[in-house]
Structure 1
Amino acid sequence: MTTELLQIHPSELRFVFELKKQSSCLIQLGNKIDQYIAFKVKTTSPKKYCVRPNIGVIKPNEKCDFTVTMQAQRTAPPDMNCKDKFLIISTVVPFGITEDDITSDMFAKDTGKYIEEKKLKVVLISPPSSPVLLPVNGDVKQDQSNQINGLKDRVLSGIENIPPPLRVSAEVNGLEPALDTREDKTDVDFVLSHAENVGDMNPAKDDVQLNLAKGCEELESRLCMMDSKLREVRAPEFRLSIMNAEVTMMKLNEEKRANIKEKDLLKNELEVLKRKRNAKVQAGFPLLFVCMVAMVGVAVGYYLHP
């Protein structure tokens, strides 16, 4: 078979690599022929990646997507060069087959079927650097910190009728300020409140949040592995249950046929009995009629010839 079965886009897996963060990549498979195609995805590092779904069926001239998630990594590979590989195996399957009917025997090369294999390499991309991005664990944005610094400069320089630093401290201690402007009070309170919030940050909370994030990532990776294992185990069990159901249906059909035959035999026997009884009744009537005719004839003869 010279025609390619699947069209894969993109031709490589690109992940935005960041330490202690997950990254996902979407791959699209397109069926290029007019038959059903079953596919299966394998990787050289199954504990490092989670594939959903790792098996599937693509109808003629249709497309199917699967997502590959790279688990959070604690260390970066040297020179951002990843040697992991992915293998997409595909083959032609009978019309109307479903994902639950797929087994590993369908992709065996010793069966004589045409098996197509395509390899995809993994490419790691550095995250784009942006000064407006939020730091980890919800710290203050850079533009917000710049706003705070600008307000502090305004307070210290006395612009827009803001009192000097000594008068600000006096206002905080309960003394009467030199100028009673609402706008100035709002700016000073804004600066002081943000300065207190920045100073009261507790690094222990960051550690707790980091531990919680790690726990969630580990749970998600375990769920992915369990999901993939269940998909592989579910297909044989489902086929076995279908076979058991078919055997049960065959037995029930045989019992139904046997009951119908018995019912027909009983009907035939009943009809034979009815016919015999009717025959006996019909056979008795002519004899009685002959006797009656004979008696009438004797009586008539007696009266005619005394």
Structure 2
Amino acid sequence: MTTELLEIEPRELKFVFELKKQTSCLVQLKNKSDQYVAFKVKTTSPKKYCVRPNIGIINPKGNCDFTVTMQAQKIAPPDMQCKDKFLIQSRIVPFGTTVDDITSDMFARDSGNHIEEKKLRVVLISPPSSPVLLPVNGETKQDNEMSMQKEKVPIGVENIPPPLRVSEDVKGLETAQNMEEDRSKTAEDVVSRQAGNANDVNPAKDTAQLNLAKDSEELKSRLSIMDSKIREAELTIMKLTEESSMITREKNMLKQELEMLKRKVNEKKVQVGFPLMYVCMVALISVAVGYYIHP
């Protein structure tokens, strides 16, 4: 197969280099074929760069972007020259293949499939507001002459390293590639751990997400505790309400009994002594008896 699968833009990874600052570069992949194409990104310095996503699938005639982030560096490289390289591998995959189906064996050279490989080199650029930093006796200083030369370059055009440096970079790439092949799956696993999966998240974001997850779990536990306490309080209130209603009923019953007792006492007081008719009858009977006894 002679037709290119992917068109890569740009062909060089250009990073604006500043000490102790993170910098990123966006790379666009364009699928030139009518097939689904899977890709994988490798680097000779997996601990220095973070690629997201480092694997993916591109639709026919479609595009896909990935971001390469250089971690903050404490020391500037000599003459602002970097020998790090990136390798982009691609191959045709069947329709329906997902990112989860992509494995390291798919891009092995002895798999019998056509594997397209393209190499990208890293170019460091000085910040627009500061000249190139060069290490002198372990420290960095400003090289005014190189700064003036870079200012003469038209906007949008980057300096091209001398041919000798390019050849050295090519040799370094070949050496790094050989080392990478020797390490095989071990190096690829390291790249995967450093670069992340398809959604590759920075360590800071991972920490923030873990903290958020912990906070949410704590909030959930607190809410459950509060709910249990609220239920207990509601049960206590119901019990107190029932007890207060029972006390009220008992109080009313006691009042009724007290009123009944008062009525009975009053009735007894009224009935104390003999009625007048009874006395009169007794008197008449006594007089009649006495009259008959003593004529």
Structure in which a larger fraction of residues adopt helix: 1
TM-score (norm 1): 0.44
Q: In terms of Rg, which structure is larger?
A: 2
